[in-house]
């Protein structure tokens, strides 16, 4: 049995257990005032030339490119996150867990041109997995009266998951757009989406999200 087949069997067993007990798996639904966050789609993650980069993110980039114009057309706030670049050793990021992983240059922290921010869209430089930890994101969301956070980017099992759980902790409706997130590991990606859907966030298709955005006033 390959790892994905084993994972599917495990998820089916857990799903059956949840259904038998009648726990988890409810949906939060969309709210009335969303924001879109694009997590860490910088070259250090999207370009395979970097140790931490992966071409597995290309489909997620394609999905984000569908969402961005739809969000902007409805004046939905768009936020980006990436790591701050600083050559001084005393300012290394808390995410610097591997010397090989973090052999970066300044370009590695730049948002991939394919999903580049437009003027006026905030780029948040973070040191931790969550887009909320130690950043001004929640203040901006409150200022815009946001009740729903549409979550895209990478990686599913780390920064996407951490952002979704913190969004819920801040009383937002966290919505992960399935096609617009990705991980270096397919197993980690699929398990995280299954697990987080059960307890912390809605996982919805890009088509459903586009329909929601189109229906906004």
DSSP, collapsed to helix, strand or coil, labels residue 119 as coil
Closest CA to 43 of 82, 99, 91, 84: 82
> Residue 203: beta bridge partners?
176
- Could you confirm whether 154 is annotated as catalytic? no
Q: Which of 60, 76, 111, 159 is catalytic?
A: 159
Structure tokens at 23: 């726990």
Task: Report helix, strand or coil for 69.
Answer: helix
- d(Cα 87, Cα 81) in Å, to the nearest integer? 19
Measured CA to CA, the distance from residue 116 to residue 81 in angstroms comes to 12
Pull the structure tokens for residue 121: 């869209």
Please, are residues 112 and 80 in contact by the beta-carbon 8 Å criterion?
no
Contact (Cβ atoms closer than 8 angstroms) between residue 16 and residue 86: no
Q: Which residues neighbour 53 within 8 Å (Cβ) at sequence distance 6 or greater?
A: 43, 44, 45, 46, 47
Active site amino acids: 159
């Amino acid at each position: 049995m390959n790892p994905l087949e084993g994972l599917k069997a495990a998820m089916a067993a857990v799903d059956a257990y949840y259904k038998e007990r009648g726990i988890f798996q409810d949906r939060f639904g969309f709210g009335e005032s969303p924001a879109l966050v694009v997590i860490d789609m910088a070259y250090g993650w999207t370009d395979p030339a970097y140790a931490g980069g992966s071409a597995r993110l290309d489909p997620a980039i394609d999905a984000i490119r569908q969402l961005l114009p739809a969000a902007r057309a409805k004046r939905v706030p768009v936020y980006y996150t990436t790591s701050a670049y600083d050559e001084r050793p005393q300012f290394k990021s808390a995410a610097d867990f591997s010397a090989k992983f973090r052999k970066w240059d300044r370009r590695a922290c730049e948002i991939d041109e394919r999903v580049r921010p437009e003027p006026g869209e905030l780029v948040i430089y973070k040191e931790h997995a969550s887009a909320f930890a130690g950043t001004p994101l929640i203040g901006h969301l409150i200022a815009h009266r946001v009740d729903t956070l549409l979550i895209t980017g990478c990686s599913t099992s780390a920064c996407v998951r951490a952002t979704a759980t913190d969004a819920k902790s801040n009383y937002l409706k966290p919505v992960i757009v399935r096609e617009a997130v990705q991980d270096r590991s397919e197993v980690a990606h699929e398990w995280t989406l299954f697990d987080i859907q059960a307890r912390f966030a809605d996982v919805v298709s890009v088509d459903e999200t586009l329909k929601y955005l189109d229906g906004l006033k």
